[in-house]
Amino acid sequence: MYELIGVTKQYRRGQQRVDALAGIDLTLAQGDRLVIQGPTGGGKSTLLQMLGGLDRPTSGRVLLDGTDLAALSERRLTAVRGQTIGFVFQSFNLIPTLTAQENVETALVPLGVKAAERRIRAAEALESVGLGERLGHLPSELSGGQQQRVAIARALVKRPKVLLADEPTGNLDESMRDEIVDLLEGLCDEHGLTFVMVTHDSAVARRAPRLATIRKGRITIKENRRTTADRVEA
Amino acid sequence: MFFTYLRRELRRRRKAALVVASGLALGIALVIVVNSVSSGMSRAQGKVLESLYGLGTDLTVTKAQERPEAGAQPQRPRFEFQGKEDGKEQSSDRLMVQGFQTLADSTVGTVAKQRGVDKAVGGLSLVNLKINGEFKRGEIQRGEGGQTQRGGPGGGTGGPGDTVTGGGAAFDVDSFTIYGTDVTAPDLGPLTTSTVSTGRTFTTTETDAEVAVVDSAYAQEKDLSVGDELTVKGVKFAIIGIATADSGQSAAQVYLPLKQAQTLSGSAAKITTIYVKATDSTRIDAVKTAIQKNVSGTTVTTSADLAQTVSGSLDTAADLAANVGKWLSYAVLLAAVLVAGLLTSAAVGRRVREFGTLKALGWRSGRVTRQVVGEALVNGVIGGALGIAIGLAGAYAVTAASPTLTAELGASGGGFGGGRGGGMVFGGGPGGARTAVGKTVDIALTAPVSVTTVGLAVLLALGGGLVAGAFGAWRASRLRPADALRRVE
């Protein structure tokens, strides 16, 4: 599914050069689940943006199903994002003026889905995250957990192959956190998605079968055997 | 999604939208009001000129000013009274050509033959001056013997020490202007700016008839009506119609057939002014040049020349509207568009995460840009509608208030029309008489709004919206999703 080969990303911050990613090699198969941890400014979000085609590496290749995202035109890259990749953000990033249903519909607009079908699919997606009764609510009328559910519905409504989540529980309390992680894991399993999540939360990280840590732009990956064993037992 | 998103955004940011729309509205309203007032001014100036010229007249031809010969006395009216008995009334009636300059009426034919001339008609402007009154003899007081003897005109002799007391003269001066009109050409010349409200106008056969049309203001002053008689230099004219000037003052107080006016004033085959209609109103300057070149000794005046002599509050207001008003309105509009642009750009700045998210979801830059431009355009349309409404209301208010402007027509206009009041004739000399042609006309200002003005307003509104949208669109299109999301995380 994903193959990252020697990916680097450098920024200039004033006169200083910052190596956000310093030669990342990473392989992810379809349905893999990876949690990324690391200190602030270590390069977690940058790596997620490379995977999501939101940014381009300074060097190296980001292959998604054999296509190098770094070499695609802006137009093609936008199309890949629209069709293949779902995003969930820490701050939910919902459009404040649109209802929950309309927010979910925004993910179907780039695919050219007709309005009537958009409405049906958005309603189904919201139903699947337990917000079937909140279709007409504005984000401001929903709790943080509910807003993140809307964001998850928006990410999944287009039936992507990949789900990328950047601190999805960062703005939620503990009970809500578990609920959202359960929901994400459940949906990814159900749809067979490749799931990459950035988190600071060790409790969330412990649940992942693979844990990547990024420090100073370099990645180390550990298999989480206990979780894998738990899952096998289950 | 486009319209839903647009509607929701405008509703949510209605205060910002209202500020942008109000700015544009103010600019557009100003443009409408200033444009309509400007066209009202032009219309008023046109009316002023029409009141002198007559409808359809493109230019006038008068005799060129001549330099008086060395030692020659300038022409001026002269009255002679004979010594008569005490208390005996004496009167003198003088009919003079206005400006004392005449052209041979054959010039009309010459002018009519010029290239570009559609029609030419001659007219004679006169002033009738009547002085009526009596002398009273003074009393001679004898220095010696205490005898009193009456002095008299040419008579009586006084001794040394005699003094004359009392005596004097009381004379009324009455004057009115006369225009000798060519009754065979009723559709050209000064009478065309008046409407015959009572009675009738001249028929084309009344070339030498003793009939007169009187201006309504003069008729009221002298208590004249249709059927009455008016005596001019001893000749009685039957009043056949009362004419009311369509705007401003009438060209003359009494209209007579041209031939009668010529005979009475001793100006046989003479005219003062030729009124010319050009075949093509866009080639008036060429016609002017042709007449000046081919008909010597004449002064040709176009309405443009005459417009330059218009002064007074109308001219001041017209200048204000044309210069200060127009530039002010465009400056306000430009400022409004710039403010709208900056506000739109600032709004995009506040919505970086929103647009970044949409781009992350797969929205193309074009779609995001369209959304921004759409919002700005709707603001422009709202501003335009508001501006048109305010502008129309402003123009209506100006028309309803109808402020009166005074137009003063300068001396250099060149010998047509006629001023009221005989006093001006006493100015004496050709130069003085020419100065006396100056005329004051009161015109009510209107502010007509043309379809073109409204069209211009619509274009300005859409243009303003697009320019404002372009500011924001430029910013939105340059937004990279990673930067947008990174900046707000």
Measured CA to CA, the distance from residue A201 to residue B358 in angstroms comes to 27
Q: How many domains does chain B have?
A: 2
Last residue of a domain, one of B250, B271, B296: B296
Q: Is there a domain that residue B439 lies in?
A: no
Q: Is there a domain that residue B57 lies in?
A: no
Q: Which of B5, B359, B361 sits opposite A107 (nearest CB)?
A: B361
Quick check: B125 and B97 in contact, CB under 8 A? yes
Beta strands in B308-452 (DSSP E): 310-311, 404-409, 439-444
Indicate if B216 and B173 belong to the same structural domain: yes
Domains in chain A with CATH codes: 2-233 (3.40.50.300)
Q: Three-state DSSP class for B402?
A: coil
Q: Is there a domain that residue B428 lies in?
A: no
Q: Is there a domain that residue B302 lies in?
A: no
Indicate if B148 and B93 belong to the same structural domain: yes
pTM over cut 0.80: no
Q: Residue B186: what pLDDT?
A: 83
- A190 CB contacts (<8 Å, ≥6 apart)? none
How far A162 CA lies from chain B's nearest CA (Å)?
13
Phi-psi label, residue A112: left if phi above 0, alpha if psi -120 to 50, beta otherwise: left
Measured CA to CA, the distance from residue B103 to residue B297 in angstroms comes to 9
How far A55 CA lies from chain B's nearest CA (Å)?
6
Measured CA to CA, the distance from residue B180 to residue B266 in angstroms comes to 13
Q: Is there a domain that residue B303 lies in?
A: no
Indicate if B188 and B325 belong to the same structural domain: no
- For residues A61 and B376, the model is more confident at A61
- B257: nearest Cα among B208, B192, B184, B215: B208
A-proximal residues of B, 367-426, CB under 8 Å:
367
- B196: nearest Cα among B239, B164, B161, B147: B239
Measured CA to CA, the distance from residue A28 to residue A68 in angstroms comes to 15
- B194: nearest Cα among B144, B236, B254: B254
- B113 CB contacts (<8 Å, ≥6 apart)? none
Written as six digits, the tokens of A143 are 């709790």
Q: Three-state DSSP class for B78?
A: coil
Indicate if B203 and B262 belong to the same structural domain: yes
- B448: nearest Cα among B40, B33, B46, B34: B40
- For residues B402 and A225, the model is more confident at B402
**Residue for token pair 């699919």:** A121
Last residue of a domain, one of B242, B261, B296: B296
Q: Residue A233: what pLDDT?
A: 45
Indicate if B40 and B100 belong to the same structural domain: no
Q: Is there a domain that residue B8 lies in?
A: yes
Could you tell me if the ipTM is greater than 0.95? no
Q: How far is CA B315 from CA B29, B32, B321, B420, B463, in A?
A: 23, 20, 10, 22, 33
How far A29 CA lies from chain B's nearest CA (Å)?
23
Q: Do B362 and A81 count as a contact with CB atoms less than 8 A apart?
A: yes
Indicate if B239 and B288 belong to the same structural domain: yes
Looking at beta carbons, which residues of chain A come within 8 Å of B1?
Answer: 102, 105-106, 109, 115, 118
Indicate if B37 and B114 belong to the same structural domain: no
Q: Is there a domain that residue B433 lies in?
A: no
Amino acid at A209: P
Q: Residue B488: what pLDDT?
A: 42
Indicate if B257 and B321 belong to the same structural domain: no
Query: Looking only at Cα atoms, what is the longest distance across chain A?
Result: 54
Last residue of a domain, one of B296, B323, B357: B296
pLDDT in 10s for each residue of chain B, 489 residues: 889 999 888 888 788 788 878 888 888 888 888 888 878 877 777 777 666 665 567 788 888 766 655 555 555 666 666 666 666 667 777 788 877 678 888 888 888 888 888 889 999 988 888 877 777 777 777 765 555 555 444 444 555 667 777 777 777 777 888 999 998 888 888 888 788 888 999 998 888 889 999 998 889 888 888 999 988 888 899 999 999 887 666 778 899 999 988 888 888 888 988 988 888 777 888 888 888 888 888 888 887 776 666 666 666 766 766 666 677 777 777 877 777 777 777 777 778 888 889 999 999 988 988 988 888 888 888 888 888 999 899 989 988 888 777 777 654 433 333 333 222 222 233 333 333 345 666 777 788 888 888 888 888 888 878 887 887 788 777 778 877 676 444
Rounded mean pLDDT of A182-208?
87
Residue A83 has pLDDT above 80, yes or no: yes
Indicate if B31 and B77 belong to the same structural domain: no
Q: Which of A75, A102, A106 sits opposite B358 (nearest CB)?
A: A106
Indicate if B25 and B141 belong to the same structural domain: no
Q: DSSP labels for B272-287?
A: SEEEEEES-GGGHHHH
Residues of A at the B interface (Cβ-Cβ below 8 Å)?
45, 49, 52, 54-55, 74-75, 78-79, 81-83, 87, 89-91, 93, 95-98, 102, 105-107, 109-111, 115, 118, 154, 166
Q: Do A110 and B357 count as a contact with CB atoms less than 8 A apart?
A: no
Give buried/exposed letters for B289-325 (b at 16+ CB in 10 A, else e): ebbeeebeebbbbbbebbbebbebbbbebbebbeeeb
Which range of residues forms the domain containing residue B179? Answer: 65-296
Indicate if B122 and B90 belong to the same structural domain: yes
- B98: nearest Cα among B439, B348, B402: B439
Amino acid at B300: V
Per the DSSP assignment, residues forming a β-bridge with A11 are: A18
**Pairs of residues, one from chain A and one from chain B, whose beta carbons lie less than 8 Å apart:** 80
Per the DSSP assignment, residues forming a β-bridge with B325 are: none
How far A137 CA lies from chain B's nearest CA (Å)?
13
Looking at beta carbons, which residues of chain A come within 8 Å of B479?
Answer: none
Q: Do A82 and B361 count as a contact with CB atoms less than 8 A apart?
A: yes
Give buried/exposed letters for A14-42 (b at 16+ CB in 10 A, else e): eeeeeebbbebebebeeebbbbbbbeeeb
Written as six digits, the tokens of B49 are 């000129």
Q: Residue B66, Cβ neighbours under 10 Å: how many?
A: 10
Most A-contacting residue of B354, B485, B486, B487 (CB-CB within 10 A), to test interface: B485
Element (H, E) at B204: none
Measured CA to CA, the distance from residue B451 to residue B391 in angstroms comes to 13
- A90: nearest Cα among A166, A150, A155: A166
Indicate if B326 and B462 belong to the same structural domain: yes
Written as six digits, the tokens of B357 are 């998210």
Q: Is there a domain that residue B13 lies in?
A: yes
